[in-house]
Structure 1
């Protein structure tokens, strides 16, 4: 692995992106894996994958003016192999958070959650007594967006299957996202506008007291039904766009919103990426918050 330092982009330096991304995937027993230890298969595939994705095996440092730097030290990532005396069926159907003994499915190693001078990736593989297993991951978000994580997990899955000929080589071109010096703003960025709270309805991104969470599962059949209700020229939209538009429409009708009132929607997408074979269920969440001006 090259020993070098790689600068993160100006976008990655934002304080709002300095957090950990969690992902959990459940796998049922696969007869073709008889006699193989899934934890060892993934551990060996991870070691091979990190040869190409070597910045993930480094550590974050902070330079002048808070600039983040990846120090490619080759110190490695954290990997946990665990066993659980439960079956996959005991987690329920459909799978919904909070999960049984979730803290044990992705153990928080003391001192490992920091942004600087810590391992950037934590993976735990928990083997179940039914023969299935659970793959859990925690990644420092500044290292990758959803697309980058999907590419990494796809490479990991291919390595686990012994396929290396179709891998996409990662390229570090973060400088392309840096601002000009001096900065030259050519678009109106409404996302940074300050919003004044109305007298009757205080604005909160999330409820501050006693928040209530609701989980809704959209199966392939339900997504297909929603898509069939769209005009033909809109049916090529993504599943994310489809469900978001559906929820937006339902909420607007439910609160009888004034057509002239300006409303904003905030989406936090937590995407469980389908990259390792034989997945029984991926957990995908979409958190929506609405703001009224």
Structure 2
């Protein structure tokens, strides 16, 4: 199957991906056949999708005799012995309750080859990867939430000796922390380990709704807001790089009493403000920034080390577009800093109860954006034996079908600078306005790496 890609220099890169028939990779030894309930945090509507990711590796002379397909496939089989629920299938019971039947059927695995070198992909690998549909073939039915493999993997060898590992995982099974834990175990198995350094922990009962369920906290992230937006303008995706100079420039706008805020806080506030301005939202309309918060450490005692289920909350900072855009930058930073602090053990229990009471509802998407901090996942450092990835992390912006979602990931740009990459979706005209607003935040210096993408998006 041929894929045609356009580079920023307007030259055209064409290559062919040849895939073998998909096969199931089962655990290396028999595993328990049992039914395990997912938690009431796991099975909410917002997490019922397959989360795609991509790991890109260059050639390693020391691994010249090793086939990455065989190494990764064997390590996956060994890893599924310990993470055997991921070799099962999700089922839906009464009241939309999700559970995992641990059948041991396995993950879906695709072996592939591409007649292209890593060098030909360009020197700034970051989302969007519109060639992703070639690098991770969506086996028919594989995007369903129930009764289908929970993990879809494709390993594509490159002509230069490098390879690309692309996969998607059913988000009801794991959050970002859980995926990182699973991937690191998988990589260590590929390098010769025989057991996980952090044993996986199920314990989903810790995040089940109480009896009777009771909503005890204010959850503005789940408020119903009428949708009056009818625009069908073409959406485009770009990534923006925040290196040391960009982050320093934004910090100059932060007032003294907020100088201890995190880099995540200031990039999130910057994104929210620039996006709201770019979308030209009416001043009196409410806007939301939903911040994904890892709740593991908010429990007393904390959730067990090795817990790989979803332990996240979606608290929302809410204000009007006018206040967000007209107040000094510190206003937005303070809202972000404050909303992260609302997540407590009680808040997590309240969310679980809300899911049962409100039929596992979706968070508010109208005039909302959402952001996750994936910097601690350190996906680029996942080493299957071929060293650090050239790129490791999400394959695209968005969370499921919600294009207002994004994440912050560690990234090294073409100049070798370490920073944060932020992939986003916006309508085409709004994307241009966003880029200008961002330049203004940097003091009108052209410091952004605004991707005139090495790859042009072919489909949404």
Normalised to the residue count of structure 2, the TM-score between the two structures is 0.55
1:13 aligns with 2:43: yes
Q: How far apart in 1 are the matches of 2:112 and 2:280?
A: 51
Supply the RMSD in Å over aligned alpha carbons.
2.9
Q: 1:264, CA displacement in angstroms? A: 1.5
Question: In the alignment, is the contact (CA less than 8 A) between 1:95 and 1:283 conserved in 2?
Answer: no
1:134 aligns with 2:149: no
1:210 aligns with 2:234: yes
Q: How far apart in 1 are the matches of 2:283 and 2:221?
A: 21
User: Which residue number in structure 1 is paired with residue 326 of structure 2?
Assistant: none
User: Which residue number in structure 1 is paired with residue 212 of structure 2?
Assistant: 182
Report how many residues are paired: 281
SS of the residue corresponding to residue 264 of structure 1 reads strand
1:149-188 to 2 correspondence within 5 Å? 149-164=179-194, 167-188=197-218
- Distance change in 2, residues 1:41/1:223 (3 Å): farther
Q: How far apart in 2 are the matches of 1:167 and 1:6?
A: 24
- Distance change in 2, residues 1:288/1:210 (3 Å): closer
Q: How far apart in 1 are the matches of 2:209 and 2:264?
A: 29
Q: How far apart in 2 are the matches of 1:282 and 1:115?
A: 25
Q: 1:268, CA displacement in angstroms? A: 4.5
Q: How far apart in 2 are the matches of 1:86 and 1:108?
A: 21
Which of 259, 263, 267 is 2:370 aligned to? 267
Q: 1:93, CA displacement in angstroms? A: 2.4
Long gaps (5+) in structure 1: none
Q: 1:117, CA displacement in angstroms? A: 1.4
Q: 1:43, CA displacement in angstroms? A: 0.9
Q: 1:164, CA displacement in angstroms? A: 4.6
User: Which moved further from structure 2: 108-117 or 92-101?
Assistant: 92-101
Q: Deviations over 1:68-125 (max 9, x none)?
A: 1100010111111111100012222212444364322101112222222111101111
- Distance change in 2, residues 1:77/1:252 (3 Å): closer
- Distance change in 2, residues 1:240/1:41 (3 Å): farther
- Distance change in 2, residues 1:196/1:73 (3 Å): closer
1:52 aligns with 2:82: yes
Which of 272, 281, 286 is 2:391 aligned to? 281
Q: Deviations over 1:26-75 (max 9, x none)?
A: 11111221111111111111111111100000011122222111000101
Q: How far apart in 2 are the matches of 1:81 and 1:270?
A: 31
Q: How far apart in 1 are the matches of 2:107 and 2:168?
A: 11
Q: 1:172, CA displacement in angstroms? A: 0.7
Long gaps (5+) in structure 2: 1-30, 290-368, 398-405, 407-423, 427-460
Question: In the alignment, is the contact (CA less than 8 A) between 1:227 and 1:235 conserved in 2?
Answer: no
- Distance change in 2, residues 1:223/1:54 (3 Å): farther
SS of the residue corresponding to residue 279 of structure 1 reads coil
Q: How far apart in 2 are the matches of 1:288 and 1:211?
A: 6
Which of 66, 69, 72 is 2:99 aligned to? 69
Q: 1:246, CA displacement in angstroms? A: 2.6
Q: Deviations over 1:169-196 (max 9, x none)?
A: 1111111111112112211111122335
Q: 1:275, CA displacement in angstroms? A: 4.9
User: Which moved further from structure 2: 129-138 or 172-181?
Assistant: 172-181
1:104 aligns with 2:104: no
User: Which residue number in structure 2 is paired with residue 243 of structure 1?
Assistant: 267
Q: 1:227, CA displacement in angstroms? A: 7.8
Normalised to the residue count of structure 1, the TM-score between the two structures is 0.83
